[in-house]
Structure 1
Amino acid sequence: MYASTVRGLLVRGMLAGLIAGLFAFAVAYVVGEPPVNGSIAVEEAQAAQDAAGAHAGHGAEAAPEEEEEELVSRPVQSTAGLATGVLVYGVALGGIASLAFSFALGRVGRFGPRATAALTAGAAFATVYLVPFLKYPATPPAVGNPDTIGQRTTLFFLMILLSVLLGVGAVIAGRRLAPRLGNWNATLAAGGGFLVATGLAFAFLPDNDDAVKPGFPAALLWEFRVASLAVQVVLWVVFAIVFGVLAQRLLAPRAAETDEARAGAQPRTAALG
């Protein structure tokens, strides 16, 4: 694939990621913000209860603690801050996914640009988010132990790295098994190997037992995790649709030109023969 084509796909991937980010932001604001606000309310109620207990324990003459001033207000966090984070995330992942699409096109089967875009987006969603999410689900802010946030972050990114590497390994194994087993059987074998390897990773990696404080409402935690999953699903589905259309428009004329050039070369070759 020509460098100009890859560059064009990169630009279109970032544009598709931006559009997908807009949809994901809408879902995050409508569906995700209510459980976030609920978790903050739970945290504030717990902090007030702890402060009241400490005040009672030290007597009536204890001086009240001064509240820390927020650097960024909650309304800004839930609007401009959320939009900036989601859009930057969408653009970055869109660019990376477009490069993966450039590599996968024509190498994972006889799929057109739209089908390849859908497969690329699905694989990215599964390896980058879904598999790590199943091991280390998302948690609302300020509900975990702050002393272990570094460890929990490291484990989460380690799970992402393992998932991506296992996914790449499954694709390579499927391609090598295809000549002997056929495409369908090779795909099943590679997929089964990916599931087994992922299960082993789940078993040996430590759990985040203190990711959620005891007593945190289970229903609120469930709502937050479902909302997080919904944001990612919308992001990748919209990206697959938009990028598939953009890639098709970019690559179809060039494919037609290549076919015409090949067709024109055949009569000349026959005449020389």
Structure 2
Amino acid sequence: MPASTVRNLLVRGMLAGLVAGVIAFAFAFFVGEGPVDQSIALESTAAAPQHVHGGDTAAAPAAPAAEEEEELVSRSLQSTAGLATGVLVYGVALGGIAALVYSFALGRIGRFSPRASAALVAAAAFTTVYLVPFLKYPATPPAVGNPDTIGKRTTLFFLMVLLSVLIGVAALILGRRLAPRLGNWNASVVAGLAFAVAVTLAFVFLPGNGDAVRESFPAALLWKFRVATLGIQAVLWTAFALVFGLLAERLLAPRQAPAAPAAAPVPAA
């Protein structure tokens, strides 16, 4: 593929990522911020000091209040400008990377249209980069997780991302090599099963993070937060696939100009 076409696809991928980031931000603000606020409020209530009063005795003297740490960024700013900045930068970055992957994969994953190829690349990226690692190490609400295990959980999550991507690439190579002998459909099924088996083995042998959330934390709120987190990623990648597929199709398969009407035959003398 010419370098100019790759550059144009990169620009369109980043633009599609920006549009997808705007849509994902709207979803995160209206759907995801509710569980986050509830989690923070619940944690603040649990951390508040409890005053115990005796029957006939006076209330115990309060201990000297510890100086509260000054909040550098307010919660309202975090949930608006901060959230928007993070999601938009994330969308543009992933859009550019996905566009480069699309440029490499185009024509190598089958004879699909530009839109279909964009949908396949986005689906593969969502599955390997987020869905599979999320199933092993799901998201934890802020201010709720065990602070002593943050480093460990972060390392394990990115290790799972790396393994998922490598397994996905290996499954793709396996499918391409089996296609001449088994056919495209059978080779795809075998590659998909191999991917599922390898991911299952990774789930079994990698350590868990069961201590990430306290047992007393409400299960319904935890479920709501994790569904919202997964929904943000699903909305982001779906919007990217639709927008980038349209832009890529206009670039790679431009509409042909309508043919000029044929001249009327000249009557014979």
When normalised by structure 2's length, the TM-score is: 0.91
2:2 alignment partner in structure 1: 2
Code of the residue aligned with 2:232 in structure 1: it is: V
2:172 alignment partner in structure 1: 171
1:21-100 → structure 2 map (5 Å cutoff): 21-48=21-48, 51-52=49-50, 59-100=60-101
CA shift, 1:52, in A, is 2.7
Contact 1:55–1:62 (CA under 8 A) maintained in structure 2: no
Code of the residue aligned with 2:132 in structure 1: it is: V
1:48-197 → structure 2 map (5 Å cutoff): 48=48, 51-52=49-50, 59-197=60-198
1:270 alignment partner in structure 2: none
CA shift, 1:210, in A, is 1.0
* Structure 2 CA distance for partners of 1:253 and 1:204, relative to 1, 3 Å: same
1:264 alignment partner in structure 2: none
1:259 alignment partner in structure 2: none
CA shift, 1:60, in A, is 1.2
CA shift, 1:136, in A, is 0.5
Code of the residue aligned with 1:6 in structure 2: it is: V
Structure 1: unaligned runs, 5 residues or longer: 257-273
CA shift, 1:214, in A, is 2.1
* Structure 2 CA distance for partners of 1:164 and 1:251, relative to 1, 3 Å: same
CA shift, 1:252, in A, is 1.1
1:240 alignment partner in structure 2: 241
CA shift, 1:54, in A, is 10
State the Cα deviation string for residues 71-100 of structure 1 (Å, max 9, x = none).
100000000000000000000000000011
Contact 1:12–1:247 (CA under 8 A) maintained in structure 2: yes
Report SS of the residue matched to 1:111: coil
In the alignment, the residues of structure 1 paired with residue 241 and residue 170 of structure 2 have an alpha-carbon distance, to the nearest angstrom, of 23
* Structure 2 CA distance for partners of 1:55 and 1:5, relative to 1, 3 Å: farther
Code of the residue aligned with 1:240 in structure 2: it is: A
Code of the residue aligned with 1:15 in structure 2: it is: L
135-144 or 8-17, larger mean C-alpha shift: 135-144
2:267 alignment partner in structure 1: none
CA shift, 1:66, in A, is 1.9
1:212 aligns with 2:213: yes
Contact 1:13–1:95 (CA under 8 A) maintained in structure 2: yes
Contact 1:21–1:235 (CA under 8 A) maintained in structure 2: yes
Code of the residue aligned with 1:21 in structure 2: it is: G
State the Cα deviation string for residues 16-61 of structure 1 (Å, max 9, x = none).
000000000000000000000000001100110xx336999xx515
1:269 alignment partner in structure 2: none
* Structure 2 CA distance for partners of 1:61 and 1:216, relative to 1, 3 Å: closer
Structure 2: unaligned runs, 5 residues or longer: 55-59, 257-269
State the Cα deviation string for residues 200-219 of structure 1 (Å, max 9, x = none).
00000000011111200111
Report SS of the residue matched to 1:154: helix
State the Cα deviation string for residues 91-120 of structure 1 (Å, max 9, x = none).
000000001100111000000110000000
1:253-268 → structure 2 map (5 Å cutoff): 253=254
Cα root mean square deviation, aligned: 1.8
Report SS of the residue matched to 2:211: coil
In the alignment, the residues of structure 1 paired with residue 95 and residue 164 of structure 2 have an alpha-carbon distance, to the nearest angstrom, of 19
Please tell me whether Structure 1 or Structure 2 has the larger radius of gyration of its CA atoms: 2
